[in-house]
Amino acid sequence: MKMRLDKYLAHFGLGTRKEVKSFIRKGLVKVNDIIIKKDDYKVDLDCDFICFNDQKIEYRQYVYIMLNKPAGCVCATQDQVHRTVIDLIEGYDHYDLFPVGRLDKDTEGLLIITNNGDFAHKLMAPKRKHAKLYYAVIDGIVTEDDIRKFKEGIYIGDYQCQPAQLTVLAIEENYSEVYIEIYEGKFHQIKRMVQATGKKVVYLKRLQIKTLKLDPHLESGRYRELTDDELFDLMKDL
Interface with ligand URA (CB under 6 A): 103-104, 107, 188-191, 204
Q: Give catalytic residue positions.
A: 104
Q: What burial letters (b/e) apply to 177-212, b meaning 16+ CB within 10 Å?
A: bbebbbbbbeeebbbbbbebbebebeebbbbbbbeb
Single-letter amino acid code for the residue at 63: V
Structural contact between residues 100 and 67, judged by C-beta atoms closer than 8 angstroms: no
Supply the minimum distance, in Å, between the C-beta of residue 91 and ligand URA. 26
**Residue with smaller CB distance to ligand URA, 13 or 70:** 70
The helix/strand/coil state of 24 is helix
**Residue with smaller CB distance to ligand URA, 116 or 189:** 189
**Residue with smaller CB distance to ligand URA, 23 or 107:** 107
Supply the minimum distance, in Å, between the C-beta of residue 90 and ligand URA. 24
Distances 58 to 14, 24, 54, 113, 129 between C-alpha atoms, Å: 12, 17, 13, 20, 35
Cα–Cα distance, 224 to 51 (Å, whole number): 24
SS3 content of the chain, % helix, strand, coil (to 5): 25, 30, 45
Cα–Cα distance, 35 to 155 (Å, whole number): 65
Among the listed residues 19, 30, 87, the one whose alpha carbon sits nearest the alpha carbon of residue 53: 30
Instruction: State the sign of the Cα–Cα–Cα–Cα dihedral 209, 212, 218, 224.
Output: negative
Supply the minimum distance, in Å, between the C-beta of residue 191 and ligand URA. 4
Supply the minimum distance, in Å, between the C-beta of residue 116 and ligand URA. 22
Structural contact between residues 33 and 48, judged by C-beta atoms closer than 8 angstroms: no
Supply the minimum distance, in Å, between the C-beta of residue 194 and ligand URA. 8
